[in-house]
């Protein structure tokens, strides 16, 4: 079942240690087949070096395991909520990457200080609040997804324009049109988090990049007027 998607999700998971986004098993990647309403995700707690395509777990949009010899990632309920609430996304990544998680632990979103950030995210990368004690005890992973989705809805954030979020005192979630793009965005978040932290060390009074510059860099890559790169044949 979904053998091609399993291979793609397996390959995407292996990119996390390659790009130094995970330590031990601190992360996961999933991707969804919208036609079937099923998604594939990394099994819980299995070392990346030992992973095989057939180890990937198939889950439905109720969060129920459909196929697989292992239990799915413990973050599966969060992925489930995000796939249900953000129908335009096709892949999700969760990491505790060092620089981005440092911003999350500080409870701060990442300001857009430069064009590298603006090329991929329109505005700050937000940091959502802590879950309450009741939310944690009720359904921690599910409510993490609900918190993210509610924040985006309440603050009118476009998940396509802001393809990632920090969870306070926790870590990072990113997404994209597929698993590979979601990993790409996770790498971007980690790099801009590092740049922003160093930027503030060099100049504690730094201000975000001018809006005109942010707009130029974001919209030359995204939207109807985009002209960066090559057109696909």
Q: What does the alpha-carbon distance between residue 182 and residue 202 come to, in Å, rounded to a whole number? A: 30
Parallel/antiparallel/unpaired status of strands 164-167 and 91-95:
unpaired
Left, alpha or beta for 116 (phi > 0: left; psi -120 to 50: alpha)? alpha
The catalytic residue among 119, 140, 150, 151 is 119
Partners of 41 in beta bridges: 30, 57
- The answer to whether residue 228 is catalytic is yes
Left, alpha or beta for 229 (phi > 0: left; psi -120 to 50: alpha)? left
- The answer to whether residue 119 is catalytic is yes
Q: What does the alpha-carbon distance between residue 200 and residue 60 come to, in Å, rounded to a whole number? A: 43
Task: Identify the helix (H) or strand (E) that includes residue 58.
Answer: strand 57-60
Q: What does the alpha-carbon distance between residue 93 and residue 181 come to, in Å, rounded to a whole number? A: 9
Q: What does the alpha-carbon distance between residue 215 and residue 125 come to, in Å, rounded to a whole number? A: 15
Partners of 164 in beta bridges: 174
Neighbours of 158 (CB within 10 A): 11
Catalytic residues: 119, 228
């Amino acid at each position: 079942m979904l053998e091609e998607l399993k291979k793609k999700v397996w390959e995407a998971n292996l990119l996390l240690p390659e790009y130094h986004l995970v330590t031990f098993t601190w992360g996961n990647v999933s991707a969804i087949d919208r036609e079937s309403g099923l998604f594939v995700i990394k099994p819980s707690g299995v070392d990346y070096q030992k992973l095989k395509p057939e180890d990937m777990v198939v889950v439905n949009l109720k969060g129920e395991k459909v196929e697989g010899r292992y239990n799915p990632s413990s973050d599966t309920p969060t992925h489930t909520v995000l796939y249900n609430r953000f129908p335009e996304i096709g892949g999700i990544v969760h990491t505790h990457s060092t620089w981005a998680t440092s911003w999350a632990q500080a409870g701060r979103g990442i300001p857009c200080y430069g064009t590298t950030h603006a090329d991929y995210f329109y505005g700050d990368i937000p940091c959502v609040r802590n879950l309450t004690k009741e939310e944690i005890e009720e359904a921690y992973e599910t409510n993490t997804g609900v918190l993210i989705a509610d924040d985006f809805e309440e603050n009118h954030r476009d998940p396509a324009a802001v393809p990632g979020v920090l969870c306070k005192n926790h870590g990072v979630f990113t997404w994209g049109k597929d698993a590979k793009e979601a990993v790409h965005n996770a790498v971007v978040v980690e790099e801009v988090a590092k740049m922003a932290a160093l930027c503030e060390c060099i100049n504690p009074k730094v201000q975000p990049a001018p809006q005109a510059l942010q707009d130029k860099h974001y919209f030359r890559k995204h939207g109807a007027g985009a002209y960066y790169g090559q057109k696909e044949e």
